[in-house]
Structure 1
Amino acid sequence: MADEGNRTAFLEIQSRMIETTAKLKQVQNQMRNKEGEKKRAFLTLEELRQLPDDTNVYKSIGRMFVLETKATLMTEQENKMKDSEASITSLQSSKEYLEKQIAEVESNLRELLQHDPGLARQIMSMNV
């Protein structure tokens, strides 16, 4: 009876671990994307700063290019950088939370396996 309860607890812990790990990977990918966005905005802004104020600049919208003022384009790039930084900060806190959740799940799993060595042997004998 207790053995079946431990198996159920193990399966629950395993599913939580898989779910949390998937969420963590998703957050890491989002952070990587935002970092790239921020870097592109920064590099574009640096290139725009080198241009004279009266230069014609074009904004890419899909396959179309629209004439914009340099100031407008610079403001858009600055806003993209700020938005990316805010998103990265938010995602960083999510990442830290998920890492704590993974550590907690690992701790629960270790505790379960220490209390039931038979379950640990069954898990180790499973074919992956």
Structure 2
Amino acid sequence: MSDEAARTAFMEIQGRMIETTGKLKQVQSQIRAKEGEKKRAYLTLEELQGLPEDTNTYKSIEKQLLFVLEPKSLLASEQDEKLKDSENALTALQTSKEYLEKQLGEVENSLRELLQQDPGLARQIMSMSVM
């Protein structure tokens, strides 16, 4: 493989690796957010179960700047829906995470193969200074 072709291949693989790593970090962040949302819904449901059925509750709106009085049953059903939605979203995000991890592994293997095929490219890369 010529030096120019090897460099082009390296740049392409490097770009794919950066893109895939970025997407993976984004999915991991979304997973953490959904897990927090799920936990809040679960804990709220647990607290609501201890209250009598005819209890009125306050629901926070707009990041807790406003509260609305509503029946316990309505708040409980909303929290139950949030819990189910979070679980579904987590399942989808976990699938995306596994796919991206597989893609990242493939990109790493491609890079490894390229560097094994052209040891001169590996030396050039190691001698480059990051600006």
- The answer for the alignment partner of 1:47 in structure 2 is 47
TM-score by length of 1: 0.97
- 2: distance between equivalents of 1:125 and 1:3? 15
Counterpart of 2:96, as a letter, is S
- Matches for 1:50-69 after TM superposition, within 5 Å: 50-62=50-62, 63-69=65-71
Aligned length: 128
TM-score by length of 2: 0.95
After TM superposition, which residue ranges in structure 1, 4 or more long, deviate above 3 angstroms? none
- The answer for the alignment partner of 2:13 in structure 1 is 13
1:113 aligned onto 2:115: yes
1:98 aligned onto 2:100: yes
- The answer for the alignment partner of 2:24 in structure 1 is 24
- Give how far 1:125 is off: 1.1
1:122 aligned onto 2:124: yes
Counterpart of 2:56, as a letter, is N
Counterpart of 2:98, as a letter, is E
SS at match of 2:60: strand
Counterpart of 1:49, as a letter, is Q
- 2: distance between equivalents of 1:107 and 1:64? 53
- The answer for the alignment partner of 1:89 in structure 2 is 91
Q: Name the % identity.
A: 72
- Gapped regions of structure 2 (runs ≥ 5): none
| RMSD over equivalenced CA pairs, Å | 1.0
- Larger deviation: 32-41 or 47-56? 47-56
- 2: distance between equivalents of 1:93 and 1:36? 19
The one-character-per-residue Cα deviations of 1:9-58 (angstroms, maximum 9, x if unpaired) are 00000000000000000000000000000000000000011111122211
- Gapped regions of structure 1 (runs ≥ 5): none
The one-character-per-residue Cα deviations of 1:44-92 (angstroms, maximum 9, x if unpaired) are 0000111111222111112221111111100000000000000000000
